[in-house]
Amino acid sequence: MEDKQKKATAYWKENVRYLFILLFIWFVVSFGAGILFKDYLNTFKLGGFKLGFWFAQQGAIYVFVVLIFVYVYLMNKLDKKYGYNE
Amino acid sequence: MSVQTWTYLLVGITFALYIGIAIWSRAGSTKEFYVAGGGVSPLANGMATAADWMSAASFISMAGIIAFAGYDGSVYLMGWTGGYVLLALLLAPYLRKFGKFTVPDFIGERYYSNTARMVAVFCALIVSFTYVAGQMRGVGVVFSRFLQVEIDTGVIIGMVIVLFYAVLGGMKGITYTQVAQYCVLIFAFMVPAIFISFQMTGNPIPQMGMGATFNDGSGVFLLDRLNGLSTELGFAEYTDGSKSMVDVFAITLALMVGTAGLPHVIVRFFTVKRVKDARKSAGLALLLIAILYTTAPAISVFSKINLINTVSKQPYIDMPLWFKNWEETGLLSFDDKNKDGLIQYLADPNQNELTVDNDIMVLANPEIANLPAWVIALVAAGGLAAALSTAAGLLLVISSSVSHDLIKKIFLPNISEKGELWSARIAATVAVVVAGYFGIHPPGFVAAVVALAFGLAAASFFPAIVLGIFYKKMNKEGAIGGMIVGISLMLFYMAKFKLGWLGEIPDKSEWWFGISPEGFGTVAMIVNFIVAIVINKFTPEPPLEVQEIVEHIRIPSGAGNAIEH
């Protein structure tokens, strides 16, 4: 019982660490690049796009999709490591 | 064939398809009615979630709003997609593991209190009714333009169709109709976008066409031309907004958190088999949504340039047929103030002669670009698919909140399975009628009302659910207090600054912290968190068995058996 508890706590800790990292990236690409720093980024260009504008209307969305799939991959691995997969 | 014939044909075929699916997938038990039996595949759930999510506002209004707001429109793009990251990471897997039927169900069990359940039911009903009114209105608008019926008649036709498959099939019927509706709506959205992108830039991918040069050999970027045209007419540069940074920040966050807190979206993740399926289908849903959401801003750019080129400083008598058609619906109007017979489209309201409703940009876009008749008809079918799929999902939340959370869990705990199923169907019927009433007598225009529903969801559910999962010692007093204060504050702010229910609507300069009603959900959410945590400090800890439930939902395995605790 004690062991089971320890395992669950360790699993949860790793899970929360992943969440922090992924949500940090989530914040940086949307609120960071698309809003707070967009004027600075707009001095660069990506094809016909100003870079800050591109993040706000395109880039952030692409990163969001990738983030969820990275999360799925990481969690599936974590589940296996702790024997919680099914 | 004429546009009219094509429209009847395509709308007829898609409606027949939805009804066919509904008959094939009738619900026989409450579990099928509430969560489609709990065995939906991740891909089907992803498609259904995407259709559920993308409403009349996403399909009909969003590209138009962005076309007129430019950079400011980014709040919708980031807000309505970024919420899925929160949903996938913070809510969906745990709620699936918990394995209940509704969101109030989670709140009621996790906070071991029927008061908490009642508050959650109340919040779910407010959020869902606010949102569903906008959908019925969207159905009416599409019908009135494309099938030449009154908006009210259109709303009633929409009501009958939704009633048919939501009442008969419950979640099971809704899920499989939504899969079909996703296919219809994404096809209808992409075809004109690809046509126009190719026409203007030679690049068929709209996401790239948006950042490309015109294919007339001039080498000018579309966005540079649009910035030039905008400033020439007195507007702000397209790639720069006019909203303050703090407001853009607050609106984006409120929409994200609201997305993650919307009951009709959350409940979709109860329908898959395992926790890992819930995670995967959240990813698939966002991928399928992102196809539309990255195309919409491209459509905004194309249609804005086309609109300005077609109308600006042109003689009114030379206007093409679509211009007259839309004038008849009242969504487009021309007032020749200086009597020169030319159309002045300008930022200055005293000189501007053209009023364009946001909704036209997507609906009229194929006509403005001279696309074939079947493409124009396809857009009508797509708009209806978007509005109907979202309306059905919301009606299910309303009916299950009433039949499951109010009747079964609070008033008549001994009701039979069959009785509960019938009460769910009756509740759905009543909800459709109420939604239809709001559609005919709308409390505001489509997008404004929908945007406020997010503020309400952000202010009420999100903190209670997140704390319920991530803070084991969170107790009922804190959660209930937080939800009540959060939603009341949001309702007050809406009533004062948006709806004008408390006297005249005050000037923008009186907004608290410079935040608009659309963005105020962020403030109300923070207040909810603070109130919940403070009350929690001064009231007793939750019982041990509740803390055990929290530990249990943090472990992904064994979700299939978690229905009864």
On the question of pLDDT at B98 being above 70, the answer is yes
Mean pLDDT for B78-99 is 93
Structural domain boundaries, residue B442 = 3-447
Give residue B564's pLDDT. 39
B61 assigned to some structural domain? yes
B261 assigned to some structural domain? yes
Chain B residue numbers touching A30 (CB-CB < 8 A): 78, 82, 252
Of A11, A35, A86, the CB nearest to B248: A35
HSE, side-chain direction, 13 A CA sphere, residue B11: 24
* A4 phi and psi angles, rounded to 5 deg: -60, -40
Complex confidence, ipTM:
0.95
CB contact (8 A) between residue B249 and residue A58: no
Domain ranges of chain A: 30-86
Give residue B21's pLDDT. 87
Least confident residue range of B340-344, B474-478, B480-484: B340-344
Give residue B190's pLDDT. 94
Give the span between the Cα atoms of B524 and B45, in whole angstroms: 31
CB contact (8 A) between residue B556 and residue A72: no
Mean pLDDT for B207-218 is 89
Give the span between the Cα atoms of A27 and B245, in whole angstroms: 15
Give the span between the Cα atoms of B517 and B96, in whole angstroms: 32
Mean pLDDT for B135-148 is 75
Q: How far is CA B11 from the centre of its chain?
A: 22
* B471 phi and psi angles, rounded to 5 deg: -125, 95
B474 assigned to some structural domain? no
Confidence of residue A1 (pLDDT cuts 50, 70, 90): low
On the question of pLDDT at B565 being above 50, the answer is no
Looking at chain B from residue 288 to 327, which residues have their Cβ under 8 Å from any Cβ of chain A? 290, 293-294, 297
Handedness of CA B522, B528, B531, B534 (dihedral sign): negative
B554 assigned to some structural domain? no
Q: Which of B201, B208, B226, B239 would you mutate first to test chain A, the one with the most A CBs within 10 A?
A: B239
Helix (H) and strand (E) counts for chain A?
4, 2
User: What is the count of structural domains for chain B?
Assistant: 1
Across all residues in chain B, what is the average pLDDT? Answer: 87
B270 assigned to some structural domain? yes
Mean pLDDT for B468-481 is 95
Any CB–CB contact under 8 A between A31 and chain B? Answer: yes
CATH number for position B399: 1.20.1730.10
Give the span between the Cα atoms of B21 and B25, in whole angstroms: 6
For the segment B504-550, what is each residue's pLDDT rounded down to a tens digit?
888 888 899 999 998 999 999 999 999 999 999 999 999 999 999 99
B488 assigned to some structural domain? no
B287 assigned to some structural domain? yes
Confidence of residue B561 (pLDDT cuts 50, 70, 90): very low
B170 assigned to some structural domain? yes
Give residue B563's pLDDT. 46
On the question of pLDDT at B169 being above 90, the answer is no
Structure tokens at B223: 């966005």
Residue type, B124: A
Mean pLDDT for B256-277 is 90
CB pairs under 8 A between A and B: 133
Of B221, B286, B555, the CB nearest to A8: B555
Mean pLDDT for A25-54 is 93
Give the span between the Cα atoms of B220 and B212, in whole angstroms: 8
Structure tokens at B490: 């949001």
Confidence of residue B331 (pLDDT cuts 50, 70, 90): confident
